[in-house]
Amino acid sequence: MSASSLPAFDPSDPLGVDDLLSPEDLAVRDTVRQWAGDRVLPRIAEWFESGEVPEIRGLARELGSIGALGMSLDGYGCAGASAVQYGLTCMELEAADSGIRSLVSVQGSLAMYAIHRWGSEEQKQRWLPAMAAGEVIGCFGLTEPDHGSDPAGMRTRARRDGTDWVLTGRKMWITNGSVAGVAVVWAQTEDGVRGFLVPAGTPGFSAPEIRHKMSLRASVTSELILDEVRLPADSALEVQGLRGPLGCLNHARYGIVWGAMGAARASFEAALEYAGSRVQFDRPIGGFQLTQAKLADMAVELHKGVLLAHHLGRRLDAGRLRPEQISFGKLNNVREAIEICRTARTILGANGISLEYPVMRHAANLESVLTYEGTVEMHQLVLGKALTGLDAFR
Ligand code: TGC
Ligand code: FAD
């Protein structure tokens, strides 16, 4: 085998993983990459610094117009894309910023997915087309101030009053909460945990924004307050038990397996470029062995993570992806992505802490990604249980 007869080594795709993608996959990726490059990258540092995304509703509509909202769902105005295409979309969005990928994850994989999976036909007709178009933003309220990793203990209650439901409780750390037109809220009932669709503006419901975040600053994060919120009987979703919300989390966690690699890729690329141009001791720092070792290790973990995401995507498309396999992917890829960003930060020296470069922003964002959708420890315990047969959660 002569190296000259082989395809050239591509630093942006050293393993040739793009060979696994169809022309349609590549077209989806290019569309999202271009949208993020045009609409997010020029403003993201400003949004992150101010902690505001003033254009969020317009961005949601644009994401709807490129088919990115609920994109792997069928019908109701959704794109019906493959799991791999949804994953590529998450990766491109998160290469811009985790906050923008979060907007899309919560909209499509959590709020829309919950309605698509557990909603009545009437609920689907009412909400899904508008959500797919980005005209209505959704949020997903599972976490509470005292119940994060252990949602089984949630205190939010829904009680029957005639045919109505009356909800009381609080949800915490809810992405999109203050801008949502509809909140999917999970609450305890006499029959176990159930999901409810709460339209914004319902008396007793409010969603104050959480400020002073040091991570995911280009994302709206809110508290949900439910004070005797009265809802008609047909507001409930048709599922009982924790398998309702946890089933939705699978889909969002899968998207994060890809998304995290987007943040890592952007940081790696920034470090590689910097290493080629920054001169110390009369030579580019990329010429020092210690910098090359960092770049090589980052590239290995980045592209292993991308390969893993592809593998899981193909299993999901084939209907063969288990929740434990999603935990495997989320655990590995987010953990490695944050290490890649931290290492990239060192290569940029002092510039690494500046918002002029993306790496510190990505590293800070990934602190949230490491925690939400199941912490590192939760995914270790899911895998630990699958490996040993022993439940170590309690
Ligand atoms: P456990 O007894 O194991 O299960 C209760 C029921 O749920 C079923 N189940 C699942 N079903 C589908 N998919 C999964 N991954 C499932 N995991 C469990 C299970 O079969 C059982 O069903 P049934 O019918 O037998 O009753 O429940 P547990 O209380 O022991 O908890 C297990 C544990 C710890 C893994 C679970 O509570 C968990 O995943 N905790 C982490 C919580 C979490 O991830 N929260 C995320 C909130 S949403 C969010 O963070 C959005 S951020 C989005 C963004 O901005 O991008
Ligand atoms: P805790 O559960 O209190 O955990 C604290 C620490 O203890 C963690 O390290 C945890 O792993 C560890 N721990 C807990 N139990 C065990 C155990 N049995 N064994 C070992 N270690 C353990 N939630 C939503 O419902 N919807 C959203 O849209 C949403 N968006 C979010 C956006 C952001 C920016 C953030 C930061 C969070 C968001 N969350 C959302 C909440 C997120 O899902 C929770 O923060 C997460 O599930 C962890 O819960 P917690 O913060 O209460 O931590």
Token output for 78: 């959704």
Residue 15 near ligand 1, beta carbon < 6 Å:
no
- Total domains in the fold of the chain: 3
Q: Which ligand ends up closest to the CA of 367?
A: 2
User: Do 310 and 375 share a structural domain?
Assistant: yes
Catalytic (active-site) positions: 373
Q: Which atom of ligand 1 is nearest to the CA of 98?
A: 56
Q: Report the nearest-CA residue for atom 2 of ligand 1.
A: 242
Pocket of ligand 2 contains residue 143 by CB under 6 Å: yes
Predicted pLDDT at 4: 79
The bound ligand whose nearest atom lies closest to the alpha carbon of 376 is 2
Asked whether residue 102 is domain-assigned, the answer is yes
Two tokens, residue 341: 């960003």
Burial of 5 from C-beta contacts in 10 A (0-12 / 13-18 / 19+): exposed
Asked if pLDDT for residue 1 goes beyond 70, the answer is no
Spacing, Cα 344 to ligand 1 middle (Å): 33
Which of 253, 378, 388 has its CA nearest to residue 309?
253
pLDDT digits (tens, 9 = 90+) for 10-43: 999 999 999 999 999 999 999 999 999 999 999 9
* Residue 274 pLDDT exceeds 80: yes
Co-location of 125 and 260 in the same domain = no
Q: What is the pLDDT of residues 111-121, one digit of tens each?
A: 999 999 999 99
Instruction: Give me 109's structure tokens.
Output: 């994989």
CATH classification at residue 341: 1.20.140.10
Q: Is 152 in the pocket of ligand 1 (CB under 6 A)?
A: yes
Q: What is the CATH number of the domain that holds 145?
A: 2.40.110.10
Bridging pattern class, strands 192-199 and 221-231: unpaired
pLDDT at 6: 94
Residue 229 is assigned to a structural domain of this protein: yes
Closest CA to 367 of 252, 263, 297: 263
Q: What is the Cα–Cα distance from 62 to 75, expressed in whole angstroms?
A: 19
Does residue 327 have its Cβ closer than 6 Å to ligand 1? no
Regarding whether 124 and 35 lie in a shared domain, the answer is yes
Q: What is the largest CA-CA distance in the chain?
A: 80
- Do 251 and 226 belong together in one domain? no
Report the nearest-CA residue for atom 39 of ligand 1.
374
pLDDT tens track for 329-361:
999 999 999 999 999 999 999 999 999 999 999
pLDDT digits (tens, 9 = 90+) for 173-228: 999 999 999 999 999 999 999 999 999 999 999 999 999 999 999 999 999 999 99
- Distance, CA of 69 to CA of 84 (rounded, Å): 15
Domain carrying residue 58: 16-132
Ligand 2 atom showing the smallest separation from residue 151 Cα: 47
Looking from the CA of residue 146, the nearest atom of ligand 2 is: 52
